[in-house]
């Protein structure tokens, strides 16, 4: 039952606030297995909305879904040197099955490159078999020591795309295309602005040639890596002997890409939009976009109000709006408002006897604006317009907040001040010498990392001349931040 106590505010303790938003909205819960989480129906519904939107975008660009096994022979992981080094420390390994010790231990997939490219070596013979464009929706396991609901859990849900191409240019185009799809999804569906760019060598995916990412700023000014797209080059093709006959009769290794987003996005959505009253969910991803709360005192009122509420529900449903009628009896309207607010439902309709008589409803928005009375006539388009406006406003607010907390051309002194937390942290765009040692020193002293070497549209108008840290000539502008 809803209790009316407020939650910890963002200003008091951002991390406690985050957990309380999740608990209060019943999005997820802790499991008896440390580091794993239970995704409750309200949280899973958001993930399903995300899946549907992304799946459509993947299919519209020619990808198909398939499914590969949860278990991977342990020897597979060690075939690609960087890959095993990157993932071995966090794998879960099955050594026994059916009461017997296995001849070869099985790794619970931390990601599926190895088993998928093993299969591709059987399926690809000729350039005519290319490209292969496959996506998998699955769970993966990475043995994390420090976990947080949605953001970092030992088991999580995700999609992993794995493609094979005849040329480097085709693979690079695919890597870029999927980064673009992730950006479009983040901005148009999650209302979460992102910076796109390339990861440095130290931050790239284990075994990749190049990694690209979308990075978003959370309300505590930390960065969240929200999706990655990798050009794997021919590294895995060599390790798994994925070769093909070229158009002119020669033999070559294929070029691979992989790309993924996970249930981490739900955490990103929460930390981008929610407030001290609970979850704020962009309308396009909300489980229920509209909730109808009938208001009555007498039995006679209950009958007429409920009848009208049901008719409205049917009308809105028929118009393609995800609508829920909260007809629970024995619960006061105020308690219901409080509960739906904590759950982030974008629009609430209150229908009382006077509304029924006047042919109107009372509309309350989860964010922005006062309650207003709307005619029942033409309600669906009016609500759709309200949701479109809210979706747009959430994006604009998040973008304005990110830009207000981004600094360009910072000196070392300013950088230290920002990252020390006195300035609350933020995104810092600055020159970088390109040296891994310099990058490592900054990380050690400030905990800030290079999130990406930003794509052109995010770079400063004038390229920085020198490294913000060591003063040597700058080879690339870097986006620095503390990250989740
Ligand atoms: Zn430097």
Q: Which tokens is 159 given?
A: 């999609």
- 255 touches 233 (CB < 8 A): yes
C-alpha of residue 466 to centroid of ligand 1, in Å: 8
* Among 172, 167, 168, residue whose Cα is nearest residue 247: 167
C-alpha of residue 471 to centroid of ligand 1, in Å: 6
C-alpha of residue 442 to centroid of ligand 1, in Å: 9
Q: In what order do the strands lie in the sheet with 100-108?
A: 71-73, 100-108, 92-97
- 255 touches 169 (CB < 8 A): no
C-alpha of residue 441 to centroid of ligand 1, in Å: 9
C-alpha of residue 458 to centroid of ligand 1, in Å: 21
Surrounding residues of ion ligand 1, Cβ less than 5 A: 433, 438, 467, 469-470
**Structure confidence at residue 130 (pLDDT):** 98
C-alpha of residue 82 to centroid of ligand 1, in Å: 25
Per-residue pLDDT tens digits for 249-295: 999 999 999 999 999 999 999 999 999 999 999 999 999 999 999 99
Per-residue pLDDT tens digits for 4-43: 567 899 999 999 999 999 999 999 999 999 899 999 999 9
C-alpha of residue 472 to centroid of ligand 1, in Å: 6
Contacts of 158 (CB under 8 A, 6+ apart): 137, 138, 139, 140, 260, 261, 262, 263
C-alpha of residue 432 to centroid of ligand 1, in Å: 5
C-alpha of residue 228 to centroid of ligand 1, in Å: 25
C-alpha of residue 465 to centroid of ligand 1, in Å: 11
Per-residue pLDDT tens digits for 368-390: 778 999 999 999 999 999 999 99
Contacts of 413 (CB under 8 A, 6+ apart): none
**Structure confidence at residue 63 (pLDDT):** 98
Q: Which comes out higher in pLDDT, residue 365 or 5?
A: 365
Split at pLDDT 50, 70, 90, the class of 422 is low
C-alpha of residue 459 to centroid of ligand 1, in Å: 18
C-alpha of residue 470 to centroid of ligand 1, in Å: 4
Report the distance separating Cα 121 and Cα 133, nearest Å: 14
This model's pTM is above 0.85: yes
The 3-state DSSP composition of the chain as helix, strand, coil percent (nearest 5) reads 40, 30, 35
C-alpha of residue 436 to centroid of ligand 1, in Å: 8
C-alpha of residue 194 to centroid of ligand 1, in Å: 26
């Amino acid at each position: 039952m809803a209790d009316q106590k407020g939650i910890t505010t963002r200003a008091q303790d951002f991390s406690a606030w985050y957990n309380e938003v999740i608990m209060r909205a019943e999005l997820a819960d802790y499991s008896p297995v440390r580091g794993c989480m239970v995704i409750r129906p309200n949280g899973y519904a958001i993930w399903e909305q995300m899946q549907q939107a992304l799946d459509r975008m993947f299919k519209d660009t020619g990808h198909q879904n398939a499914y590969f096994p949860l278990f991977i022979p342990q020897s597979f992981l060690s075939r690609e040197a960087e890959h095993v080094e990157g993932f071995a420390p966090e794998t879960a390994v099955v050594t026994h099955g059916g009461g017997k010790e296995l001849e070869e231990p099985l790794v619970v997939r931390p990601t599926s490159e190895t088993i998928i490219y093993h299969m591709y070596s059987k399926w690809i013979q000729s350039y005519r078999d290319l490209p292969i464009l496959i996506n998998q929706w699955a769970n993966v396991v990475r043995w994390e020591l420090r976990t947080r609901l949605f953001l970092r859990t030992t088991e999580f849900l995700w999609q992993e795309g794995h493609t094979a191409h005849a040329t480097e240019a085709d693979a690079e185009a695919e890597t870029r295309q999927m980064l673009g799809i992730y950006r479009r999804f983040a901005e148009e569906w999650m209302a979460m602005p992102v910076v796109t760019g390339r990861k440095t060598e130290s931050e790239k995916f284990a075994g990749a040639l190049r990694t690209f990412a979308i990075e978003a700023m959370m309300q505590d000014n930390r960065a969240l890596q929200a999706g990655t797209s990798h050009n794997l080059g021919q590294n895995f093709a060599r390790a798994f002997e994925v070769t093909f006959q070229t158009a002119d009769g020669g033999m070559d290794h294929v070029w691979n890409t992989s790309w993924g987003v996970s249930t981490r996005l739900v955490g990103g959505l929460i930390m981008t939009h929610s407030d001290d009253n609970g979850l704020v969910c962009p309308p396009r991803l909300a489980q229920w976009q509209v909730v109808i709360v009938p208001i009555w005192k007498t039995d006679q009122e209950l009958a007429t109000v409920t009848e009208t509420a049901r008719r409205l529900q049917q009308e809105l449903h028929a118009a393609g709006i995800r609508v829920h009628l909260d007809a629970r009896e024995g619960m006061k309207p105020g308690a219901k408002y409080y509960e739906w607010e904590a759950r982030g439902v974008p629009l609430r309709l209150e229908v009382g006897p006077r509304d029924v008589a006047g042919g109107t409803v009372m509309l309350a928005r989860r964010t922005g604006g006062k309650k207003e009375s709307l005619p029942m006539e033409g309600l669906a388009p009016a609500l759709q317009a309200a949701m479109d406006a809210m979706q747009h406003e959430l994006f604009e607010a998040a973008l304005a907040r990110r830009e207000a907390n981004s600094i360009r051309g910072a000196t070392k002194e300013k950088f230290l001040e920002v990252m020390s937390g006195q300035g609350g942290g933020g995104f810092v765009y600055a020159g970088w010498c390109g040296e891994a040692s310099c990058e490592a020193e900054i990380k050690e002293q400030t905990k800030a990392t290079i999130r990406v070497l930003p794509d052109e549209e995010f770079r400063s108008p004038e390229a920085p001349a020198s490294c913000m840290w060591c003063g040597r000539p700058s080879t690339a502008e870097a986006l620095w931040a503390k990250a989740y």
